């Protein structure tokens, strides 16, 4: 049974039983505690906790997921995958254990001819939480024999997200694959033979802190008893397709087949090669799905995970002997396999492929640069006669230069060198622990939601700010240090929830409103406005005067000037987005934005920077749109209708069934947006582009001033131009030509100065050669030349060496200023006698309190003791004499 067919049967089964079909959320989700969506229930988390009202009582979905903790295990086991799909059925206070178990049993064991999955009931085993007698009894009731029901503890049969949130005991379904896969005895005996395919979670508790799988604090019961299930689509597929592991299913194996063809091998021929091919199959698909959902390669967070997946794929192919670009061969195969289930894959293909191919080309350059660094490290290891690359050297190659550890091992073995793998792993472990501690600190910083949920239970806080900047209202609640309080005193900073508000909460890239909340003897300055849960607006305020009390009548007044400036910036952001799509093509997509009064920042996908001419055109077209005085309209409509009209949506944003579409000049600019805007584009006044830069692989950023800030920026530039023109005694329109001539004159002068300096330095050659001494059969020039830099020392040493001709000559020069620099050059005859520049530099640099290395003919090093130049030269002389 094909994977897409299993997916269809699962959805159809639950849709026929009253479940609303919910499309998969993008992998990048607006939850600050998660890097990626890692479970099928993530989009439903607010419904489980009661933070939001569920729009349906039952739901079914096939959710895209990524888990990154087991990347190193990918390819080595039958079940570890980075990207996977989770079939799930959900109940929000509707049905509970009995119905969930009955549904699961029927779908799993019902005949395929009737539309079910057709697993043999005799091969089904289940587990239940150790004290969940109800679940065990229900399983027996549907036909599972008592001998096939096992009880397990918190580590195995209690599920949570690994962060504060919903949790509860669970019951898992396993399939017995047969005695050839391991010993008998159920899941407790062997989880390779008995493979878990489905987990039924009975969500009943909210966790306030999570320290480990079986170590957490329970805040209290959830508002309702819920069902959250997850069936691994890939695991189910490889059982129903009769293959040995998840990498051999129909959505992955064709990539492996193509990779094997490129490598000139066959899957199943060599165990180690098979692991590498499985890594390629998994990682290429995972990278494709991440890039489709808007992730771009980078050095932090999500971008780092994607970069690692792509580079592990390329590295694995290299270890299989393929050094040519591989992603153009492999990525299209994965695209064709996933397109039938996810329409966004072909829709985003142009951008995705550009990002991927650019990343591979960058990594190929990294490999070339890393190879040079490796060669230096290998030369140093040989010169020190240790024969081992240190853990710190290998870690630097990996961490700083992105050089894969496996490739380091391979190249070291080729050169007969050992690698301090233990030292490398120690440093990697320390880095991971730092990352875990940082992640844990971020998770621990998540504010307990109890106070917010309590205030939200009184109803949604209406936002009046689209039409009103002032509103008479009442204080619904006060939060101090995460706790609800009745009163707060002057001088304190607290959070306030009003019955309704004109204040815009930060979202969609737009900064929060500022302003005042006043009452009888009361004055609060609004510092920030956020929506910690949907439907609840929370104002962070400083109490300047009076005592604040719950239930107090107040006047909420937005700073009108700041709001108007924010509206100007936000509408200008939409104009920049539309202009970029007009100039670069409709494949250009927003990757992030930020706007505040007077300023905007806009990120977008691109494989190269904008030329100067293109930047000017961007600014010109944007200002034409401003002068055209387009009306700015906002219309609420069904999500499907907005998409049909071509409205752009942001990756990772969560949209309801009804959305707000902001439109400028009809189809020229249509975006889903909940922000505030000017009524007509001419109200923006002016846009002044101030910069364009790279913010990651395949990701660019433009920044601009708008309105009064744009005029001020241009006035500053005008003043600068005027001052320079007066200084250079030319008209402003002649300034560029005059500056160009000055630059040419400066370059010519610098070239002449460099030539004079070179002649001066080379004039030292005769006296240096004349001062050579005989040491151990070598002619040695050893001289301190304070003030000379590294390039000068190197050129001088090579010039002196050339004078020696066929003689066995060695040149050792010490220069530098605050920190000494040592250069050593040797002739061919000297090297034939055993004098190697790299080894001699290491000897001399040690005397300087530093280190060095390089080739046998030319090497350089340095240190920290500027007074030890004579000692360094003496050490080299002694080494030659020996």
User: Quick check: 446 pLDDT over 50?
Assistant: no
Residue 152, classed as helix, strand or coil, is: strand
Residue 543, classed as helix, strand or coil, is: strand
pLDDT of residue 442: 41
- Which tokens go with 489? 């005193």
Q: Helices (DSSP H) in 765-822: which residue ranges?
A: 765-770, 790-804
pLDDT of residue 48: 86
pLDDT of residue 444: 38
Contact criterion met (CB below 8 Å) for 84 and 234: yes
CA–CA separation, 230 and 64 (whole Å): 12
Please state whether beta strands 658-664 and 632-638 pair in parallel, antiparallel, or not at all (unpaired): antiparallel
Tell me the CA distances in angstroms from 649 to 589, 646, 660, 866, one per residue in order: 9, 9, 11, 61
User: Quick check: 440 pLDDT over 70?
Assistant: no
Beta-ladder partners of 631: 680
Q: Helices (DSSP H) in 598-660: which residue ranges?
A: 612-627, 639-644
CA–CA separation, 47 and 228 (whole Å): 11
pLDDT in tens, 460-507: 999 999 999 999 999 999 999 888 999 999 999 999 999 999 999 998
- 25 secondary structure, DSSP code: P
Mean pLDDT on 13-36: 88
Residue 491's Cβ-count burial label (10 Å; 0-12, 13-18, 19+) is: exposed
Say if residue 677 carries a ligand binding annotation: yes
Say if residue 170 carries a ligand binding annotation: no
Domain boundaries, the chain: 3-250, 271-444, 450-558, 563-715, 765-881
Nearest Cα residue to 781 out of 818, 842, 834, 835: 835
User: Quick check: 359 pLDDT over 70?
Assistant: yes
| Sign of the four-CA dihedral 478, 481, 485, 491 | negative
Helix axis angle, 405-414 relative to 349-383, nearest 10°?
A: 40
Mean pLDDT on 706-719: 92
Contact criterion met (CB below 8 Å) for 494 and 478: yes
- Which tokens go with 397? 């190659």
User: Quick check: 319 pLDDT over 90?
Assistant: no
pLDDT of residue 78: 65
- 806 secondary structure, DSSP code: T
- Which tokens go with 504? 């815009």
- Which tokens go with 812? 């050792």
Point out the least confidently predicted range of 52-56, 374-378, 652-656.
Answer: 652-656
CA–CA separation, 434 and 428 (whole Å): 10
Specify whether the backbone of 439 is left (phi greater than 0), alpha (psi in -120 to 50) or beta: alpha
Q: Report the percent of the chain where pLDDT is more than 90.
A: 62
User: Quick check: 610 pLDDT over 70?
Assistant: yes
pLDDT in tens, 517-576: 999 999 999 999 999 888 899 999 999 999 999 999 999 999 999 999 999 999 999 999
Give the DSSP H/E element, type plus range, for residue 198: strand 194-212
Mean pLDDT on 406-431: 80
CATH of 450-558, one of 2.40.30.130, 2.60.120.380, 1.10.3720.10, 2.60.40.420: 2.40.30.130
- Which tokens go with 764? 């030292």
Residues of 244-278 as b/e, b for ≥16 C-beta within 10 angstroms? ebbbbbbbbbebbebbbebbebebeeeeebbbbbb
The model's confidence at residue 653, banded by pLDDT at 50, 70 and 90, is: low
Structurally, at CATH architecture level, domain 563-715 sits in: 2-Layer Sandwich (3.30)
Fold identical between 3-250 and 450-558?
A: no
pLDDT in tens, 566-588: 999 999 999 999 999 999 988 78
CA–CA separation, 316 and 380 (whole Å): 28
Contact criterion met (CB below 8 Å) for 343 and 334: no
Specify whether the backbone of 766 is left (phi greater than 0), alpha (psi in -120 to 50) or beta: alpha
CA 605: distance to chain centroid?
15
CA–CA separation, 162 and 150 (whole Å): 24
CA–CA separation, 675 and 577 (whole Å): 15
Q: Helices (DSSP H) in 208-265: which residue ranges?
A: 233-240, 253-263
User: Quick check: 445 pLDDT over 90?
Assistant: no
Nearest Cα residue to 671 out of 575, 566, 606, 587: 575
Size of the chain, expressed as the number of residues it contains: 882
- Which tokens go with 72? 């190193």
pLDDT in tens, 95-149: 999 999 999 999 999 999 999 999 999 999 999 999 999 999 999 999 999 999 9
Give the DSSP H/E element, type plus range, for residue 197: strand 194-212
pLDDT in tens, 741-791: 999 999 999 888 878 877 888 888 899 999 899 998 999 999 999 888 888
pLDDT of residue 436: 60
pLDDT of residue 448: 44
Specify whether the backbone of 454 is left (phi greater than 0), alpha (psi in -120 to 50) or beta: alpha
Question: Per mean pLDDT, which of 66-70, 332-336, 446-450, 725-729 is the most reliable?
Answer: 332-336
pLDDT in tens, 85-94: 999 999 999 9
DSSP 314-353: HHHHHHTT--S--HHHHHHHHHHHHTTT-THHHHTHHHHH
pLDDT of residue 651: 59
Say if residue 65 carries a ligand binding annotation: no
CA–CA separation, 801 and 806 (whole Å): 10
- Which tokens go with 865? 């003791």
CA–CA separation, 476 and 498 (whole Å): 5
Question: Rounded mean pLDDT of the chain?
Answer: 89
The model's confidence at residue 73, banded by pLDDT at 50, 70 and 90, is: confident
Domain 3-250 falls in which CATH fold? BirA Bifunctional Protein; domain 2 (3.30.930)
CA 364: distance to chain centroid?
21
pLDDT of residue 560: 96
Domain 765-881 falls in which CATH fold? Diaminopimelate Epimerase; Chain A, domain 1 (3.10.310)
Contact criterion met (CB below 8 Å) for 48 and 223: no
pLDDT in tens, 173-227: 999 999 999 999 999 999 889 999 999 999 999 888 888 888 999 988 988 899 9
Contact criterion met (CB below 8 Å) for 24 and 62: yes
Mean pLDDT on 863-876: 91
Nearest Cα residue to 33 out of 160, 145, 222: 160
pTM of the model: 0.65
Q: Which residues, in sequence order, are CB contacts of 346 under 8 Å at separation 6+?
A: 335, 339
């Amino acid at each position: 049974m094909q994977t897409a067919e299993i997916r269809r049967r699962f959805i159809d089964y639950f849709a026929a039983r009253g479940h609303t079909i919910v499309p998969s959320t993008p992998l990048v989700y607006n939850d600050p505690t998660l890097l990626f969506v890692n479970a099928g229930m993530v989009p439903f988390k607010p419904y489980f906790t009661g933070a939001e009202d569920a729009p349906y009582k039952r739901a079914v979905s096939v959710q895209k997921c990524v888990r990154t903790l087991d990347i190193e295990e990918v390819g080595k086991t039958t079940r570890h995958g980075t990207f996977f799909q989770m079939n799930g059925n959900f109940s929000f206070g509707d049905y509970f254990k009995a119905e969930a178990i009955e549904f699961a049993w029927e779908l799993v064991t019902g005949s395929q001819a009737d539309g079910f999955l057709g697993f043999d009931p005799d091969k089904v085993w289940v587990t239940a939480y150790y004290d969940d007698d109800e679940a065990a009894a229900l399983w027996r009731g549907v036909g599972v024999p008592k001998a096939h029901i096992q009880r397990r503890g918190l580590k195995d049969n209690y599920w949570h997200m690994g962060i504060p949130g919903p949790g509860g005991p669970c019951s898992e379904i396993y399939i017995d694959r047969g005695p050839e896969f391991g010993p008998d005895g159920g899941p407790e005996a062997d989880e390779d033979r008995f493979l878990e395919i489905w987990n039924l979670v009975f969500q009943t508790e909210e966790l306030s802190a999570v320290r480990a799988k079986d170590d957490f604090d329970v805040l209290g019961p959830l508002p309702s008893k819920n069902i959250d299930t997850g069936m691994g689509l890939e695991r189910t597929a490889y059982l129903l397709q009769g293959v040995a592991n998840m990498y051999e299913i129909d959505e992955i194996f064709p990539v492996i087949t193509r990779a094997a063809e490129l490598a000139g091998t066959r899957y199943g021929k060599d165990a180690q090669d098979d692991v590498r091919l499985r890594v390629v199959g998994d990682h290429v698909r995972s990278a494709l799905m991440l890039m489709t959902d808007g992730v771009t390669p980078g050095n932090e967070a999500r971008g780092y995970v994607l970069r690692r997946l792509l580079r592990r794929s390329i590295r694995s192919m290299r270890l299989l002997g393929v050094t040519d670009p591989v992603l153009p061969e492999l990525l299209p195969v994965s695209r064709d396999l996933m397109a039938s289930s996810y329409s966004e894959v072909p829709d985003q293909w142009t951008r995705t492929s550009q990002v991927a191919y650019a990343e591979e080309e960058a990594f190929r350059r990294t490999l070339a640069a890393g190879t040079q660094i490796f060669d230096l490290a290998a030369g140093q290891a040989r010169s020190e006669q240790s024969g081992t690359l240190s853990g710190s050297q290998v870690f630097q190659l990996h961490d700083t230069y992105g050089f894969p550890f496996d490739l380091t091992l391979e190249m070291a073995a080729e050169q007969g060198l050992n690698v301090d793998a233990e030292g490398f792993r120690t440093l990697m472990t320390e880095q991971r622990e730092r990352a875990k501690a940082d992640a844990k600190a971020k998770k621990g910083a998540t504010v307990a939601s109890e106070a917010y949920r309590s205030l939200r239970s009184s109803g949604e806080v209406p936002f009046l700010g689209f039409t009103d900047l002032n509103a008479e209202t009442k204080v619904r609640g006060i939060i101090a240090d995460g706790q609800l309080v009745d009163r707060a005193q002057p001088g304190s900073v607290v959070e306030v929830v009003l019955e309704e508000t004109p204040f815009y909460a930060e979202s969609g890239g737009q900064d929060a409103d500022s302003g005042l909340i006043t009452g009888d003897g009361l004055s609060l300055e609004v510092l920030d406005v956020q929506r910690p849960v949907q439907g609840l607006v929370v104002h962070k305020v400083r109490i300047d005067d009076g005592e604040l009390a719950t239930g107090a009548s107040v006047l909420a007044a937005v700073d009108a000037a700041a709001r108007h400036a924010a509206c100007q910036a936000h509408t200008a952001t939409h104009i920049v987005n539309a202009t970029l799509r007009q100039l670069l093509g409709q494949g250009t997509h927003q990757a992030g934005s930020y706007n505040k009064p007077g300023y905007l920042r806009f990120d977008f996908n691109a494989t190269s920077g904008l030329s100067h001419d293109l930047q000017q055109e961007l600014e010109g077209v944007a200002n034409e749109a401003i002068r055209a005085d387009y009306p700015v309209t906002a219309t609420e409509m069904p999500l499907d209708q907005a998409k049909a009209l071509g409205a752009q949506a942001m990756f990772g944003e969560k949209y309801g069934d009804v959305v707000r579409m902001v439109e400028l000049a009809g189809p020229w600019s249509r975006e889903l947006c909940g922000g505030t805007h000017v009524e007509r584009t001419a109200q923006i006044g002016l846009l002044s582009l101030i910069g364009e830069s790279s913010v990651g692989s395949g990701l660019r950023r433009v920044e601009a001033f708008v309105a009064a800030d744009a005029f001020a920026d241009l006035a500053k530039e005008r003043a600068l131009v005027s001052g320079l023109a007066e200084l250079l005694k030319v008209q402003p329109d002649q300034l560029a030509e005059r500056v160009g001539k000055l630059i040419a004159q400066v370059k010519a002068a610098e070239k002449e100065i460099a030539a004079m300096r070179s002649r001066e330095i080379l004039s030292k050659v005769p006296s240096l050669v004349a001062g050579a001494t005989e040491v151990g059969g070598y002619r040695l020039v050893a001289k301190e030349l304070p003030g000379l830099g590294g390039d000068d020392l190197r050129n001088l040493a090579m010039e002196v060496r050339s004078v020696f001709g066929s003689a066995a000559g060695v040149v050792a020069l010490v220069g530098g200023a605050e920190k000494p620099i040592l250069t050593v050059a040797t002739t061919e005859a000297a090297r034939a006698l055993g004098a190697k520049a790299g080894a001699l530099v290491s000897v001399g640099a040690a005397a300087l309190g530093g280190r060095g290395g390089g080739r046998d003919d030319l090497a350089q090093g340095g240190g920290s003791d500027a007074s030890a130049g004579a000692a360094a030269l003496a050490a080299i002389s002694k080494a030659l004499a020996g």
